[in-house]
Amino acid sequence: MTVLAVVAAGVLLPAAGMWWASPWIREHAGALLGLVAVQLALAAGGLSWVLDWRVLQPLARIKRHASAMAQPDARGAPRLNGLRPDELGELGRRLNQAHDRLDGLLAELENSNAELHRMAMVDQLTGLPNRRLFLELFDHSLAVAKRSQQTMALMFIDLDRFKHINDTLGHPAGDELLRALGQRLRQAMRGSDVVGRLSGDEFVALLPDVSGAEAVAQAALRMIHAIEQPVSLAHPPTKMQVSASIGIAQFPADGGSFDELLHHADQAMYRAKEAGRGRHVFYREPDPQASVPPGGDAELALALQRHELLLHYQPVFDTQTGRAIGAEALLRWQHPSRGLLAPARFIHRAEECGQIHALGEHALRSACKQLEAWKAAGLHAGSIAVNLSAGEFRHERLPRVLAHVMQDHHLAAGELELELSSHTMMSDPEFTQARVDELRELGISLVLDDVGSAMVSLSRLGQLHPAKLKIDAALVSRLPQDKDACATVHAIVQLARSLGVAVVASGVETEAQRDALTQAGCRWQQGFFFARPAPASNEPQWTTSAAPAASASSGDQRARAAASANSRSRPH
């Protein structure tokens, strides 16, 4: 206000000097100067208020808002309101726009950080915890287990033949299969359990607070069964069935850290692979002082020593001639307290405890010895087929054992057949091809089992060229009502003809099934409709005389009589 007064004085005083000569002015000069001073003061105050209201206060609000925007917690700060339509109002609107844009950028940044954190902790393909998150969860469970003195189990789960699936169907189909199996594993576990994916086809599962080896084994079986269910793939449209091998390590018996337990579980998993795949193996076997379960190591060894393991024979008939062309040797256990046991009751345990090779060699030698005895008695039994597990097929001693057996019992080429599952024949192409070539040089024929219920690579089938394809009993059971099953059987027969391979149908139980198979072109059939598996006898009904004088008609009559008698006694 002082400055304005000085300015006013500098302007007005010279002009006032012109009128100073007036007596009235000289008389009222003091009053006039006071009035001018009051006017100048009022003008200066009004101008200061206007300047503060129109300029200084808006600038201060804009300054405070700009400072707030620069703070770390700027997101969600209040906007500038009541802006006037002038330059400062336009500046405020621009600042509001910048604030909105900053809020959007901060929101995007937070979402990106959350997504990056999720990506760092979760497997992108399956949605399961990855190795990093699984390790954090394991460390937490380990601390609880140590404090509460609990037992934990760590499982290493590896899919069997997954590389073959990627090679034949492509990586997109493999990814689709992994997603489906990852969810199945999650659903097969308890709510407190954790399953994660390490890499590729390798999964890992943590079972905190388990009550014992039996509970862990049951959990492993649930996982194996969940994985073995067929998976429908969209690209390409097909159904895929795989198995899994599981290795199990337990805390604290097998290790006290994640790396140690994982290493031991991995070792156990490879033992499961060597034992034939599709099974679980503990790194450390359960307490040997505990009660031995049925089919345990000691019990199976005693069964071999006591000759409780024996063979039953089920013939394969040619439906056009009524004659048997051979038989399948089926292992049975005449248990002293449980009665006659089928292989499904003890083979799995034999594979786990390492007795499968002894059982397999016993079956091979017994079948060849019996065939030699029938031939010495002048009976023609045809070829004898013996089932072979994956572990036996891969055993390094198999070619030597077979060579000695063939030589010891004077068997000719083609008289001994080995039945192998599609799973065994289609896995490990290089090894399988080399092993098949070895067996073929020994004069041993190979039969591909369970055709129609498992995936078979046509290119691999052409390379392996087995002597026979055996249609699975599950497929035969759907005949003749199921049109899809009829079409599948017809396709298998046509494929076999194009490859020059014989076809045998197993599990034939009704006349309708026999006729449907015959109509499809499958003349060699086996099942309860023709004959039940039976122990060896000096002169089985299905054998024929090897002497030329014995006509085929007598053999036909005996075979038809046996088929008729057994068809009347078969279960319905």
**pLDDT per residue as tens digits for the range 289-338:** 333 444 555 677 788 888 889 999 999 999 999 999 999 999 999 888 77
Mean pLDDT calculated for residue range 402-429: 88
Share of the chain above pLDDT 70, in %: 73
Residue type, 466: P
Q: What are φ and ψ of residue 129, in 5° steps?
A: -60, 140
Query: Is residue 251 domain-shared with residue 189, that is, in the same domain?
Result: yes
Higher pLDDT, 370 or 103: 370
CA pair distance 155, 204, nearest whole angstrom: 6
Query: Is residue 216 domain-shared with residue 319, that is, in the same domain?
Result: no
Q: Which residues contact 352 (CB under 8 A, 6 or more apart)?
A: 275, 279, 281
Query: Is residue 301 domain-shared with residue 274, that is, in the same domain?
Result: no
Is residue 194's pLDDT more than 80? yes
Burial of 134-157, coded b for 16+ CB within 10 Å and e otherwise, reads bbeebeebbeebeeeebbbbbbbb
Tens of pLDDT, residues 43-64: 776 676 666 665 666 666 666 6
Residue type, 540: P
pLDDT at 28: 67
Tens of pLDDT, residues 199-251: 888 999 999 988 888 788 888 888 988 888 888 888 778 888 888 999 999 99
- Ranges of H-type helices in 70-161: 87-121, 131-148
Is residue 550's pLDDT more than 50? no
Query: Is residue 371 domain-shared with residue 470, that is, in the same domain?
Result: yes
Q: How many structural domains is the chain composed of?
A: 2
Give the position of tokens 């450390």: 284
pLDDT at 71: 62
The answer as to whether 46 is a domain residue is no
CA pair distance 379, 323, nearest whole angstrom: 13
Query: Is residue 502 domain-shared with residue 357, that is, in the same domain?
Result: yes
The answer as to whether 523 is a domain residue is yes
CA pair distance 317, 320, nearest whole angstrom: 9
Judge whether 287 and 253 are in contact, CB under 8 Å: no
Q: What is the CATH number of the domain that holds 277?
A: 3.30.70.270
* Confidence label for 72 from pLDDT (cuts 50, 70 and 90): low
Query: Among the three residues 248, 282, 316, which one is the final residue of a domain in this structure?
Result: 282
Lowest mean pLDDT among 4-13, 78-87, 113-122: 4-13
Query: Among the three residues 234, 249, 282, which one is the final residue of a domain in this structure?
Result: 282
pLDDT at 310: 92
Query: Is residue 147 domain-shared with residue 198, that is, in the same domain?
Result: yes
The answer as to whether 89 is a domain residue is no
Q: What is the DSSP letter of 538?
A: S
Query: Is residue 276 domain-shared with residue 301, that is, in the same domain?
Result: no
Tens of pLDDT, residues 469-511: 999 888 898 899 989 889 999 999 999 999 999 999 999 999 9
Share of the chain above pLDDT 90, in %: 35
Q: For residue 324, what are the domain limits?
A: 297-569
**Nearest CA among 571, 480, 566 for reference residue 530:** 566
pTM higher than the cut 0.75? no
Mean pLDDT calculated for residue range 516-541: 91
User: Up-side HSE of residue 186: CA atoms within 13 Å toward CB?
Assistant: 12
The answer as to whether 28 is a domain residue is no
Query: Is residue 327 domain-shared with residue 456, that is, in the same domain?
Result: yes
Q: What is the CATH number of the domain that holds 320?
A: 3.20.20.450
